[in-house]
Every structure is written in structure tokens, then in C-alpha cells.
Amino acid sequence: MTASSDTNALAIAIVGVGKIARDQHIPALARDPRFQLAATASRSGGVQGVETFETLGALLAARPDIPAVSLCMPPVPRFAAAREAIAAGRHVMLEKPPGASLAEVFRLEALARQAGVTLFASWHSRAAAGVAPAREWLAGRRPKRIRIDWKEDVRKWHPGQAWIWEPGGLGVFDPGINALSILTEICPVPLHLTASTLTFPENRATPIAADLTFTDGDGLDATAGFDWRQEGGDIWQMEIDTDAGQLRLLDGGARLFIDGQETTLDDTGEYPTLYRQFGQLIAEGRSDVDAAPLIHVADAFMLGRHLRGDPFHD
């Protein structure tokens, strides 16, 4: 089953049927009674039993009955697709990151507002089970030290995906921005970047590793290390020492520890949570376009000290 059979469900189309769509979006929609997967647009194959179009333009012209689209293609072509869908009066959900540049994101936000449609810049890691409880625990506490380690094997998670190594593909910030989306969601004080060191393979245009330093302007020690050369298991963790205890998020936010004790969490899944939020935004006539994680990435490139590393071969 690929879609809800509820006649009251909102018809939605997926644009870009690649790995993330097949692994996360399609299963989430199949379990969500609020939505019905009514069509796809993709050059890499569709979904059995669902009408497929080669282009978004063809889909929009043929299916005016579909009010919402979820854009799952890489970030560089996403602006043109989102603009086309908004101009056609459709609600739009954007995979992370919401654009290849900040200007694109802010332009789309303005276009959606003018068109009176919902635009949702989704950050799936914010929907991890431990993130909301972490935000609640940190509220009213003063962070003294923050350390993020986000390290994985690019060959495992992005096999053969050449676009991530091209300008706009973000390189190691493709997973690293997940950590930044959690940080900007839970940190009770505003942070800005003060320094970054970016390591680029000599044959690639985007970084394979990054070390970042942040400040709140008031003495907070905050650092992050991202690396795509990890071997021996993924590391997705965040440790925050405060004036009233320590918080640790492990497994990308799926596990939460307070002062060394693990907290029992209610995990409904990241992408089911995102689609529930998208449905609520549409019902309420609102948009949610938070560019804060992408601002940190842009600052990392602006402030970055560039190092050249060994060539990378997939």
C-alpha cells in the first residue's frame, strides 16, 4: 500500500523519487490517513500503482486536483521546482536543506506568502524523539559547553550521489546540517559562528570534513566536528553541559540522557512527524520556513579556512 484510501485525505505528489523518497517519504505517507500519494514526477522511476510524470510541469498541468507537493530532489534544482509549484497554487514541502542558497529560501518564502499557499522547510532531525524533550529540559538553563560530533561513512549513506560533491551539494554539511537543525531548535541562547576549518578532497568541490566554533557572545564554549570519513560505526551525538546538569543526545537525537540517565521517549518517527506538521500547516493556512541551520552553513563557508585533503573516490 502506497497511499491512504481515505476519501477525505489530501492528495499529494512526490517530486524526485530517489533514495530519500523511497526510504522515508513514501513509507511515511502510506501510514498517514491525512494524505494520499496521488502522483509522482521523477526521471528515476515512480511508485507502483501511482500515476507518474516525467516532469513537475507535466504533473501540475495534468493534475490540478493535487493541492500539495513534496520536493525530494537535490537542493540545486529545488528552487525552480518550488517556484513552479507555488505559481500553480500548490502547497510545498521542501526536503532539507530548503535551498542551495539563503536568497533562494527567502525568495520562496515571499512567493508562498504572496500566493497564499503553505511552504514548509522541513528539518527531519528536529523530529527525532529526543529533540522536543531536550528543548524543554534546556529551557531556563544556561549552557556552559556544547560539543557536537557528527561522523559517518559517505560511501554507506550516499553511494554514487555525485551531486553532493558539486557546488550547492553541501558535501559533509548534507548530514552536518541535521546536527545544526537540532542545535538551533534546542539551544536556549542564540549562537553564531566565529571560525571554521573545511577539508576538501583535492578532486571535489565540497568539503568532506568540517570543524566549527560558535559563541553566544558571553563566553560559551561551543564546537562541532563533522566528518564523512568515519569507519567503525556512525557517530551522531551532542553533549551540552549547563549550570544545572548535563544533556546528551545520541543516535541523531533518537536517545536522550540527562545527567547520565537515559530518558524513555515516545518515538513516532521523523518523517511521519514531518507530514503531520505539514498537514497542520496547510489546515491552519501557515508556513514554516526556518533558515537558521542553513545560515550556520553559509557562515561556515564565509569564515572557513580551506584545507586540501586526499582525493575521494566512491
Q: Which structural domain range is residue 82 located in?
A: 10-124+270-288
> 1 in a domain, yes or no?
no
Assign 3-class secondary structure to 73-138: CCCCCHHHHHHHHHHCCCEEEECCCCCCCHHHHHHHHHHHHHHCCCEEECCHHHHCCCHHHHHHHH
Query: Of 290, 298, 299, whose CA–CA distance to 125 is shortest?
Result: 290
Residue 234, in any domain of the structure: yes
Lowest mean pLDDT among 158-167, 219-228, 275-284, 301-310: 158-167
256, 113: one domain: no
CATH of the domain at 33: 3.40.50.720
pLDDT tens readout for residues 192-206 = 999 999 999 999 999
Amino acid code (one letter) for 216: D
Q: What CATH number did the domain enclosing 215 receive?
A: 3.30.360.10
Residues 151 and 215 in one domain: yes
- Assess whether 202 and 276 both reside in one domain: no
Quick one: which H or E segment has residue 52? Answer: strand 51-53
213-255: pLDDT as tens digits: 999 999 999 999 999 999 989 999 999 999 999 999 999 999 9
> Do 303 and 165 lie in a common domain?
yes
Task: Specify the pLDDT at position 6.
Answer: 58
Contacts of 233 (CB under 8 A, 6+ apart): none
Rounded distance between C-alpha atoms, residue 68 and residue 12, angstroms: 5
Kindly tell me the burial class for residue 226, based on how many C-beta atoms sit within 10 Å of its own C-beta (0-12, 13-18, 19 or more): buried
* Tally of structural domains, the chain: 2
User: End-to-end CA distance of the chain, in Å?
Assistant: 34
110 within some domain:
yes
Q: Are 303 and 194 in contact (CB under 8 A)?
A: yes
Q: 262 and 151: one domain?
A: yes
In a domain, residue 177? The reply is: yes
Q: Is residue 5 part of a domain?
A: no
Distance separating alpha carbons of residues 253 and 142, to the nearest angstrom: 20
Q: Is there a single domain that holds both residue 162 and residue 304?
A: yes
**Helix, strand, coil fractions of the chain, as percent rounded to 5:** 35, 30, 40
Q: Is the pLDDT of residue 185 over 80?
A: yes
Whole-number pLDDT of residue 160: 87
pLDDT of 2 over the 50 cut: no
Overall average pLDDT of the 14-39 stretch: 95
Whether 251 and 279 map to the same domain: the answer is no
Q: Rounded to an integer, what distance in angstroms lies between the CA atom of residue 38 and that of residue 49?
A: 9
Instruction: Tell me: do 92 and 233 sit in the same domain.
Output: no
Q: Cell 584545507 belongs to which residue? A: 307
* Residues 176 and 304 reside in one and the same domain: yes
User: Of the given ranges (1-15, 169-183, 249-263), which has the lowest mean pLDDT?
Assistant: 1-15
Residues 112 and 247 grouped into a single domain: no
Q: Which residues are catalytic?
A: 96
Q: Is the pTM of this model over 0.85?
A: yes
Q: Both 107 and 215 in a single domain? A: no
Residue 2 is assigned to a structural domain of this protein:
no
pLDDT in tens, 80-97: 999 999 999 999 999 999
Q: Is the dihedral of CA 219, 220, 221, 225 positive or negative?
A: negative
The verdict on 87 and 17 lying in the same domain is yes
